[in-house]
Structure 1
Amino acid sequence: MTTFGNEYDAVVVGSGPNGLSAAVRLAQEGLNVLVLEAKSTIGGGTRTMELTEPGFFHDVCSAVHPTAAGSPFFNTLNLEKHGLEFIHPELPYAHPLDDGKAIAAHRSLEKTMEHLGEDGKPYHRLFQEFVDHWDYLSEDIFGTLRIPGHPLLMARFGWYGLFSAKLLINSLFRRPEARALFAGCAAHSIIPLNKAFTASFGLLIGGSAHAVGWPVAKGGSASITNALGNLFKTMGGNIETDHEIKTLADIPPSKIVLFDLTPHQIAKIAGEKLPRKYKEALQNYKYGPGAFKIDWALSEPVPWQNEVCKKAGSLHLGGTFEEIAESEEAAWKGEHHEKPYVLVSQPSIFDETRAPKGKHVLWAYCHVPNGSEKDMTEIIENQIERFAPGFRDTIISKSIMNTIDMQNYNANYIGGDINGGAQFARQLFGRPVFKWDPYKIPAEGLYICSSSTPPGGGVHGMSGYHAAQSVLKHEFGVS
């Protein structure tokens, strides 16, 4: 294709996984595309940096990538040819309980079932069809608002998924192990577990462990966006870093602009071009709780009390389902729980490139009220010590980020919200507004391609892909 009298056919503002995915998809059709990034490196939520000590490589935001491994778009791109290698831990994730107990999700659904006692069969029945047909299911889950391609499978997922995690857990599981295992996955939603549709997150996150695994990217999460960026450049694409966009005048002439930004930012940048009601909808868009995050350089692996935890790439700390539910509700009420649900990743156990020989990195965060400046360091370390006595003795140094630090690092993380907006029911389906094509902004040549559009948060690039498809259909006649 040729250009249309502009310097570029399309400019993408933001170089996270969604922005780069949109750019790659447009470049596949021969369009002349420019990506603009405010920071000095590309990546958005997938950067890797030496945050503590030289030679200790920490993932600044995202660290574990089931949605990347299962992304329908990523899986068409042969990103391994551009430097991406996924490493699968022996166990996708583990959930320690008190008294030295723990339960883990194995890649094998059957093996997981064997360790769940009387809850094994209900767990297996819940997940089996989804795991067996994951490729079909993921096409619809990561798709747009439309009639599903696999309606019976999606209807079953929708039936279970529309419930609250609390209701599903209380209906199916009796023992604390299975209840906690499902709750730990559902809490990735960053929504109180008594709210509708939180069960869908447990199904998606939990099912992915058995279907595609919970891998880490060798060398760190930056490997994902670096691979996308390398692919984009081989297709003739251009990337310009250190280019912050404050108004539309900061964007070079182009036929199309795609924003890998959240609604509040778009309202500020493009407000004068937006219809009043649409602008107000963007300004009223709701953000959820934030994240308080810590990275540690360690002298040795975490001394988990239960051996199972030493084999897991990720861990959910928070004890029982009831404790996790209480913690997640507290963050929505503006409260800080003394025993919060903590997500942990220990990549250097499986990826030796992440730390000097014999040393390790550890990544963890908990959910806190949006905009919170409370220091949760001691509270998080107490939770780790609870299941790994002696953990503090392994700490060499640490790096801390509260919600304000998170937003300063990535302007998309409004108040520390790492999901591009709260994913409660209304904003799960109407994201950022309820439209059949939510990617197309009602202003000439403007589109949104961030996680503030379906299918929402996660390193999968599908929001960017669908936005690019919308551009190709409406602006260039490509179906």
Structure 2
Amino acid sequence: MSADAVVVGSGPNGLVAAVLLARAGRKVLLLEAAERFGGGLRSGELTLPGRVHDLGATVMAMALASPAFRELREQGLKGVEFAHPPVAAAHPLDDRPAVLVHRDARRTAEGLGRDAGAWLATAGATARGGFPLVGLLLKPLGPWDPAPRAFASAARFGLAGVLPATTLARRAFRTVEARAVLAGMAAHSMLDLRAPISGGYGLLLAGLAHLVGWPLVRGGSQELADALVAELRSLGGEAVTGHRVRRLAELDAPTVVLDVTPRQLLAMADLPPGYRRALQRFRYGPGVFKLDWALDGPVPWRDPAVAEAGTVHLGGTLEEIALSEAETAAGRHSPRPYVLLVQPYAADPTRGGHTLWAYCHVPNGSPVDMTDAIETQIERYAPGFRDRVLARHAMGPAELEAANPNLVGGDVGGGMASLTQFLRRPVWSPAPWRTPLPGVFLCSASTPPGAAVHGMGGWQAARLALKDQARSR
């Protein structure tokens, strides 16, 4: 096939770029090195036959909220069904009932006692900003739609969101419960919670829980990847697995979109010295140690209400979680790590039984087995958990990177999510998706707005590619 555009890598950003280019009438060739499409959207039988586990992303709030995926769905993306758990997220505590984050902001606030009003003024206000606010946050460099109310919401969000999560939690909330919940949300950023903008990550995730929920894709995340590939093929595009692109010189197309990180781009191309040095300075974040389990029944939570949550944050109080993340940021392994856990069966009974996954943060490239530390944290809130385990599957940073080279050192975020790298991602530029090589664009999570299944890197790269092609005609 002679292609107008070649997309290398089939993570969510690469898939979005491929579909948008094809919808614009371009002949698109999608190349994936692995044997299955999806990158971070792949699913497989990791433990027992018939048990469907997600290798990467499971919870898909951004897939409902981002401009890229909303555009795809509005234009007819088929084959994807989202399943919502009864409770978006839960945060167990040792000596009191778990805090439950519901789709309804007011119901959530009622569980926070004297911090009810503060929750509605922070997370609730983020949710009330709606899709216009999410659009601005996911398009920090534009293009922006003229929506004055969205800019006002973004300004209010920014005043709080720029703060470290520890500072924001202590200023905004008085209760142990509300502070802990914000810490659990903010720790998704993989930042030291004393770092600027870590509070903003927490507010955005909490706001999304109220705006769109924290759903899963019924049948596994692979279903979303497969639906995007099917859409590409229906538009005349070609998609090929098992084809690793080692050098850009192998490709012959006027447009090339790369769903890779700076490390892979450095190996694939001869780049101008200044750009090469900038990519070499790009910083990767902490890695993760991930466990998947097949269970003989649901997790035996001490607080039964936690069983209804799709996502569970384990780590205790704000102070405990902040200490754990600070240890990781300093290159150490916390003995009581913050654990992000997902129980898909709370929303989706089609995965062959009670499957579960969790991970904790570790220093980038860590070889340390964190199985016992993670399971001890689960047992802390669910005594007898280990008795339910039929099989387990572990993946440390080395195994994760071997399965997906974009996960450098186990970094599932595509690079450090710090303030300086929020916009310098991977270089300072008004359009960092465009490389100095003519017709070559970068679209991975190493470009703005960073990690999560939102497709915005692919959306931006495709938009720029189409603009450049229109100019050249």
Give the match for residue 316 of structure 1. Answer: 313
- Candidates 270, 277, 281, aligned match of 1:280: 277
* 1:74 matches 2:73: no
| CA distance in 1: counterparts of 2:13 and 2:87, whole angstroms | 28
1:299 touches 1:396 (CA, 8 Å); kept in 2?
yes
| CA distance in 2: counterparts of 1:362 and 1:182, whole angstroms | 23
Post-superposition shift, 1:203?
A: 1.1
TM-score of the pair, normalised by structure 1: 0.95
State the AA in 1 paired with 2:350: T
- Candidates 285, 288, 291, aligned match of 1:291: 288
| CA distance in 2: counterparts of 1:227 and 1:284, whole angstroms | 36
The worse-fitting range, judged by mean Cα deviation, of 242-251 and 382-391 is 242-251
| CA distance in 1: counterparts of 2:467 and 2:449, whole angstroms | 19
- Candidates 403, 406, 424, aligned match of 1:430: 424
1:349 touches 1:360 (CA, 8 Å); kept in 2?
no
Post-superposition shift, 1:332?
A: 1.3
1:251-270 equivalences under 5 Å are 251=251, 253-270=252-269
TM-score of the pair, normalised by structure 2: 0.97
State the AA in 1 paired with 2:30: V
Identity %: 45
Post-superposition shift, 1:218?
A: 0.3
- Candidates 124, 142, 146, aligned match of 2:120: 124
State the AA in 2 paired with 1:339: R
State the AA in 2 paired with 1:264: R
- Candidates 369, 372, 375, aligned match of 1:378: 372
State the AA in 2 paired with 1:383: Q
Give the match for residue 338 of structure 1. Answer: 335
1:292 touches 1:403 (CA, 8 Å); kept in 2?
yes
Give the match for residue 452 of structure 2. Answer: 458
Give the match for residue 17 of structure 2. Answer: 22
What is the SS of the residue equivalent to 1:75?
Answer: helix
1:438 touches 1:453 (CA, 8 Å); kept in 2?
yes
What is the SS of the residue equivalent to 1:354?
Answer: coil
1:100 touches 1:387 (CA, 8 Å); kept in 2?
no
State the AA in 2 paired with 1:268: A
After superposing on structure 2, the runs of 4+ consecutive aligned residues of structure 1 that deviate more than 4 Å are: none
Post-superposition shift, 1:424?
A: 0.3
| CA distance in 2: counterparts of 1:204 and 1:347, whole angstroms | 22
Post-superposition shift, 1:353?
A: 1.0
Give the match for residue 3 of structure 1. Answer: none
- Candidates 7, 18, 22, aligned match of 1:12: 7
2:133 touches 2:151 (CA, 8 Å); kept in 1?
no
Post-superposition shift, 1:148?
A: 5.0
What is the SS of the residue equivalent to 2:405?
Answer: coil
* 1:365 matches 2:359: yes
- Candidates 320, 325, 340, aligned match of 2:322: 325
1:29-48 equivalences under 5 Å are 29-48=24-43
Post-superposition shift, 1:226?
A: 1.0
State the AA in 1 paired with 2:286: P
2:125 touches 2:207 (CA, 8 Å); kept in 1?
no
After superposition, the CA RMSD in angstroms is 1.5
What is the SS of the residue equivalent to 2:350?
Answer: helix
Give the match for residue 141 of structure 1. Answer: 137
| CA distance in 2: counterparts of 1:381 and 1:462, whole angstroms | 35
Give the match for residue 100 of structure 2. Answer: 104
1:148 touches 1:154 (CA, 8 Å); kept in 2?
no
1:383-422 equivalences under 5 Å are 383-422=377-416
- Candidates 298, 301, 306, aligned match of 1:304: 301
**Matched residues, number:** 468
Map Cα deviations across residues 87-129 of structure 1 (whole Å, 9 max, x no partner).
0000000000003521010111101111101111111111333
1:180-195 equivalences under 5 Å are 180-195=180-195
1:144 touches 1:466 (CA, 8 Å); kept in 2?
no
1:100 touches 1:305 (CA, 8 Å); kept in 2?
no
Give the match for residue 234 of structure 1. Answer: 234
| CA distance in 2: counterparts of 1:25 and 1:143, whole angstroms | 17
Post-superposition shift, 1:147?
A: 7.5
The worse-fitting range, judged by mean Cα deviation, of 70-79 and 222-231 is 70-79
Structure 2 gaps of 5+ residues are: none
1:262 touches 1:452 (CA, 8 Å); kept in 2?
yes
Post-superposition shift, 1:131?
A: 1.3
Distance 1:144 1:476, change over 3 A: farther
| CA distance in 2: counterparts of 1:144 and 1:305, whole angstroms | 42
Post-superposition shift, 1:249?
A: 3.0
Map Cα deviations across residues 134-171 of structure 1 (whole Å, 9 max, x no partner).
11111111114148543211111111111111111110
2:77 touches 2:228 (CA, 8 Å); kept in 1?
no
Distance 1:155 1:391, change over 3 A: same
Structure 1 gaps of 5+ residues are: 1-5
Post-superposition shift, 1:172?
A: 1.1
| CA distance in 1: counterparts of 2:250 and 2:77, whole angstroms | 34
